[in-house]
C-alpha cells in the first residue's frame, strides 16, 4: 500500500505542494505553505461507500420557458441591491470580502434587520462575536427590534442543525468563513482545507434548500488565515467592500456575479449610526473643490451603469533629482507614464526635469482609460500654471499616436455633469450615440495637441 503523504497548501491561493518551501510558486507569497494532512485533509467518506449514481442530462431547449429570472430577496438597501444585481439570489452563495474593520458586519446586520422586518427568516451566524456583542451593534444601528435570529457558532454541522429547525431560512449570513470548521476536514480552523470544506458544505446547503447564503471573508495580507480567494471560484458572486484609510465612505464592488453585471458599485458612508447610502457619489468625490487652482480637472466617469464625477489633481514641480519622481494615488501609474510619454512625443510638452504627482480627490480609485483626457488636462494645467475652467468636465481615451478615442456612454456622462452644474465638456469627437447638444459648449479635440493648444494658448 502506498505510504500516506502529507501535502502543503498555500494559505493564500490554495495551491497544493508536495514539499514545504519558503515561497509559493503559484502566487509568489512567502511563508504561506502549511502542512495539511493527506489529500488536503478532506475525508472522502467511509471506505467502500463510493457508489456511482446515475444522473440524467436534460437538453437546454426543454429548460426554456421554465425559468424567467433568478428569484431574488430584495433588501431595500438600494446601494447593496445595486451591487448584488437586484438583491440576494435564492439558492446561491455570495462572498463579501474586505479588510478587517471595514464594515462588513455592520452592512450585513443592517441588511439582515431590513429583511427580517419584511417577514423573511434571517439567521446571522457569528463565529467572531458573542450574541451580546451583535445585539449591542444592532442597538447602535437601530436594528435591535428586528426579528433576526442570532447564533454564535463555528462548527458547520452544528450550524446546519441549528438552522434546519423550524421554517426554512431565506437568508443565512456566516460571519466569517475563516472561523468555520467542519468534522469532514481534519486541519485547524482558518486553514485552506477547513475554509474550503466549510464553504462547500454551506454552498451545498444553499443549493439544496433554496436559501441565500452570504459568506463573510477577511482579506489578509500576511496569509496567516486563508484568504477569501480560495473560495472565490466556488461561490456564485463575490463582492469586495473597500474604503480608503481616513475617509468615511465605503465602496461595495462587484467582482463576480453569475446572476448580474460585474461592474456595479454601491457607495456608503460610515456614520456613528452605521452605513448610510450615498445615492449621488459625484457630490461626495467632488467634495470641497477649490475652484480656479491650476492642476485640477473634473473627470466624467462611469461605474457600471452609473456616472460618477471625480476631481483629478496634478502637481508638476521642477525636480532637483536626476531621476524625477512620479507618484500616483487612485489611478494606474502605467497609464500616467503613457500619458506623459504621449504629451512629450507628440505635443512637445516636456516633463523630464519635473516631479509629477497625481491624485484622485476623496481617495476614490479610477480604473477607466477614459480618464486619460482629464489626466492630460490636469498635467498641462499644472505645468503651465494656467487654471482650467471650473465648469468643465473631461473624458476620452488617448492613443499612443496622440489621437483622442471615443468612449462609451458619452450621453450619460454629459447628463450627470449638467445635473451638477457643469456647462462645458471636453470629449472625443461625436460618436454614434452622441447627437449634438446645442445648449452645451463642447470641445471635441481630434488629437491631444489640440487640447494642449487650447489650454496653453
Ligand atoms: P465592522 O462591521 O465590525 O467591520 P468588519 O466586520 O468588516 O470587520 O465595523 C467596524 C468598524 O466600523 C469599527 O471601527 C467601528 C465602525 N462603526 C462605526 O463607525 N459606526 C457604526 O455604527 C458601527 C456599527 C461601526
Ligand atoms: Mg466583522
For ligand 1, what atom is nearest to the CA of residue 140? 22
> What is the predicted pLDDT for the residue at 63?
59
For the Cβ of 102 lying below 6 angstroms from any atom of ligand 1, the answer is yes
Question: Is 100 known to sit in a ligand binding site?
Answer: yes
Q: Are 7 and 40 in contact (CB under 8 A)?
A: yes
Dist. CA 100 → ligand 1 center (Å): 9
For the Cβ of 137 lying below 6 angstroms from any atom of ligand 1, the answer is yes
DSSP, residue by residue, 66-80: T--S--EE--S-HHH
- Roughly what angle, to the nearest 10 degrees, separates helices 448-456 and 333-347? 80
> What is the predicted pLDDT for the residue at 33?
85
Question: Is 98 known to sit in a ligand binding site?
Answer: yes
For ligand 1, what atom is nearest to the CA of residue 137? 24
Dist. CA 102 → ligand 2 center (Å): 8
Question: Is 99 known to sit in a ligand binding site?
Answer: yes
pLDDT at 42 over 90: no
What confidence category does residue 223 fall into, taking pLDDT thresholds of 50, 70 and 90?
A: very low
Question: Is 450 known to sit in a ligand binding site?
Answer: no
How much of the chain, in percent, has pLDDT values that exceed 90? 55
Q: Are 363 and 246 in contact (CB under 8 A)?
A: yes
Question: Is 441 known to sit in a ligand binding site?
Answer: no
> What is the predicted pLDDT for the residue at 405?
94
> What is the predicted pLDDT for the residue at 351?
92
> What is the predicted pLDDT for the residue at 437?
54
Dist. CA 309 → ligand 2 center (Å): 31
> What is the predicted pLDDT for the residue at 136?
92
CATH architecture of 70-279: 3-Layer(aba) Sandwich (3.40)
Least confident range from 147-156, 304-313, 338-347: namely: 304-313
pLDDT at 298 over 90: yes
For the Cβ of 136 lying below 6 angstroms from any atom of ligand 1, the answer is no
Least confident range from 14-28, 32-46, 134-148, 362-376: namely: 32-46
Ligand 1: which residue has its CA nearest to atom 13? 101
| Closest C-alpha to 93, from 202, 167, 168 | 202
> What is the predicted pLDDT for the residue at 293?
85
Give the mean model confidence (pLDDT) for residues 39-46: 50
Dist. CA 102 → ligand 1 center (Å): 6
Q: How far apart are CA 278 and CA 362, in angstroms?
A: 14
Least confident range from 268-272, 280-284, 419-423: namely: 280-284
Least confident range from 30-34, 53-57, 380-384, 404-408: namely: 53-57
Least confident range from 36-50, 63-77, 290-304, 350-364: namely: 36-50
Name residues whose C-beta falls within 8 Å of residue 43's C-beta, 6 or more positions apart in sequence. 184, 185, 186
Least confident range from 193-197, 344-348, 437-441: namely: 437-441
Dist. CA 254 → ligand 1 center (Å): 21
Phi, psi torsion values for 93, nearest 5 degrees: -115, 135
CATH 3.30.230.10 fits 284-456, yes or no: yes
> What is the predicted pLDDT for the residue at 222?
56
> What is the predicted pLDDT for the residue at 47?
45
Question: Is 52 known to sit in a ligand binding site?
Answer: no
The pLDDT mean for the chain works out to 86
For the Cβ of 274 lying below 6 angstroms from any atom of ligand 1, the answer is yes
Residue 213 cell numbers, joined: 447564503
Dist. CA 105 → ligand 1 center (Å): 7
What confidence category does residue 14 fall into, taking pLDDT thresholds of 50, 70 and 90?
A: confident
Q: Max CA-CA distance within the chain?
A: 83
Q: Are 85 and 264 in contact (CB under 8 A)?
A: yes
Give the mean model confidence (pLDDT) for residues 371-388: 95
What confidence category does residue 375 fall into, taking pLDDT thresholds of 50, 70 and 90?
A: very high
The domain locations on the chain are: 8-41, 70-279, 284-456
Give the mean model confidence (pLDDT) for residues 116-120: 94
Name residues whose C-beta falls within 8 Å of residue 337's C-beta, 6 or more positions apart in sequence. 326
Amino acid at each position: 500500500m502506498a505510504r500516506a503523504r502529507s501535502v502543503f497548501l498555500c494559505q493564500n491561493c490554495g495551491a497544493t505542494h508536495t514539499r514545504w518551501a519558503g515561497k509559493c510558486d503559484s502566487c509568489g507569497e512567502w511563508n504561506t505553505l502549511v502542512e495539511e494532512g493527506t489529500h488536503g485533509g478532506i475525508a472522502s467518506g467511509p471506505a467502500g461507500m463510493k457508489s456511482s449514481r446515475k444522473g440524467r442530462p436534460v437538453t437546454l431547449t426543454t429548460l426554456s420557458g421554465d425559468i424567467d429570472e433568478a428569484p431574488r430577496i430584495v433588501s431595500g438597501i438600494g446601494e447593496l441591491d445595486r451591487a448584488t444585481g437586484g438583491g440576494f439570489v435564492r439558492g446561491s452563495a455570495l462572498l463579501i470580502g474586505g479588510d478587517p474593520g471595514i464594515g462588513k458586519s455592520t452592512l450585513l446586520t443592517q441588511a439582515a434587520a431590513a429583511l427580517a422586518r419584511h417577514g423573511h427568516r434571517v439567521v446571522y451566524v457569528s463565529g467572531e462575536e458573542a450574541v451580546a456583542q451583535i445585539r449591542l451593534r444592532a442597538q447602535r444601528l437601530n436594528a435591535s427590534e428586528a426579528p433576526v435570529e442570532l447564533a454564535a457558532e463555528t462548527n458547520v454541522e452544528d450550524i446546519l442543525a441549528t438552522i434546519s429547525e423550524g421554517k426554512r431560512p431565506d437568508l443565512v449570513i456566516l460571519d466569517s468563513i475563516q472561523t468555520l470548521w467542519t468534522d469532514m476536514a481534519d486541519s485547524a480552523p482558518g486553514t485552506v482545507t477547513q475554509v474550503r470544506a466549510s464553504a462547500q458544505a454551506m454552498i451545498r446547503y444553499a443549493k439544496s434548500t433554496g436559501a441565500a447564503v452570504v459568506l463573510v471573508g477577511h482579506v489578509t495580507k500576511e496569509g496567516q488565515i486563508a484568504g477569501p480567494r480560495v473560495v472565490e471560484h466556488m461561490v456564485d458572486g463575490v463582492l469586495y467592500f473597500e474604503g480608503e484609510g481616513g475617509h468615511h465612505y465605503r465602496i461595495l464592488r462587484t467582482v463576480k456575479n453569475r446572476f448580474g453585471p460585474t461592474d456595479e458599485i454601491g457607495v456608503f458612508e460610515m456614520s456613528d449610526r452605521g452605513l448610510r447610502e450615498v445615492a449621488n457619489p459625484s457630490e461626495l468625490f467632488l467634495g470641497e473643490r477649490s475652484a480656479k487652482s491650476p492642476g485640477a480637472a473634473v473627470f466624467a466617469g462611469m461605474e457600471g451603469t452609473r456616472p460618477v464625477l471625480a476631481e483629478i489633481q496634478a502637481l508638476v514641480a521642477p525636480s532637483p533629482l536626476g531621476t524625477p519622481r512620479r507618484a500616483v494615488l487612485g489611478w494606474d501609474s502605467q497609464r500616467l507614464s503613457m500619458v506623459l510619454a504621449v504629451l512629450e512625443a507628440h505635443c512637445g510638452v516636456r516633463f523630464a526635469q519635473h516631479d509629477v504627482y497625481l491624485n484622485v480627490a476623496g481617495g476614490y480609485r479610477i480604473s477607466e482609460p477614459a480618464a486619460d483626457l482629464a489626466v492630460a488636462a490636469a498635467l498641462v494645467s499644472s505645468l503651465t500654471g494656467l487654471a482650467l475652467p471650473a465648469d468643465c468636465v473631461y473624458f476620452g481615451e488617448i492613443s499612443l499616436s496622440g489621437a483622442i478615442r471615443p468612449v462609451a456612454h458619452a450621453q450619460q456622462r454629459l447628463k450627470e455633469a449638467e445635473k451638477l452644474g457643469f456647462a462645458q465638456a471636453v470629449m472625443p469627437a461625436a460618436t454614434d450615440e452622441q447627437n449634438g447638444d446645442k445648449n452645451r459648449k463642447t470641445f471635441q479635440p481630434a488629437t491631444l495637441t489640440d487640447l494642449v493648444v487650447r489650454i496653453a494658448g
